[in-house]
Amino acid sequence: MARQLMDMGARIAICARDESELQRAQTELEKRGGEVFALTCDVKQPAQVERMIQQVNTRFGAIDILINNAGADIVGPLENQTMQDYDDLMKLHFWAPLYTSYAVLPQMQERHSGRIVNVSSVGGKIASPHMVAYCASKFALVGLSQGMRMELAKDGIAVTTVCPGLIHSGVIDHAIVKGQNRKEFAWFSISDSLPLISISAEKVARVRSRVDGEVPEK
């Protein structure tokens, strides 16, 4: 999404917790000839989110588009998923988008314009076995996003809910696998790579940029 937005002339602010990954992303994006502002931020921490938004406002001015795209996965049988697993995924998939959205809402409401994009998942519409904590948190994000869309339309703010299926995004490298780890990892990694049921991040980003409103699950 950052590559495509930059190619369309946008000035980009990106954030991540990992400074080395953030630097690599900034270096790659800058090679495309655009302006990139990279900030270290844990979006699960509201104070860090507020500071990040202030820094972006200082650098670029008002934020036109907010994309909530942080995500993780925990794969394993229900009996192997802990209360902490649910809490961790809710913090990342529900609370983090809420923090960032509330941080930009005052400026968007003042201008009567802006767009918030919440990247959920088909797992936020259809529950899957061995991914209960993940699906529960993504269901919560879909509910939040759809509710925001209805409420903020009067303020001229568009809210897009993105619910793709499996994406080649590197999430398999960061997924937490529980239970029979080797079997769970094999199932998840094979599903992530099958061309008929998984798609590239670039294709998802192109679909997102064309559709106003909720992106179809394909």
Going from the C-alpha of 200 to that of each of 25, 54, 125, 167, 204, the distances in angstroms are 18, 33, 20, 5, 7
Query: Among this protein's residues, is 99 annotated catalytic?
Result: no
* Long-range CB contacts (within 8 A, 24+) of 136-141: 136/86, 136/89, 136/90, 137/86, 137/89, 137/90, 137/92, 137/93, 137/94, 138/93, 140/90, 140/93, 140/94, 141/93, 141/94, 141/97
Please give the Cα distance from 96 to 93 (Å, whole number): 6
Please give the Cα distance from 203 to 208 (Å, whole number): 9
Count of C-beta atoms within a 10 Å radius of residue 184: 19
| Catalytic residue (one of 86, 99, 102, 134) | 134
Please give the Cα distance from 132 to 65 (Å, whole number): 30
Q: Which residues pair with 115 in a beta bridge?
A: 65, 158
Say if residues 33 and 57 touch (Cβ distance below 8 Å): no
Give catalytic residue positions: 134
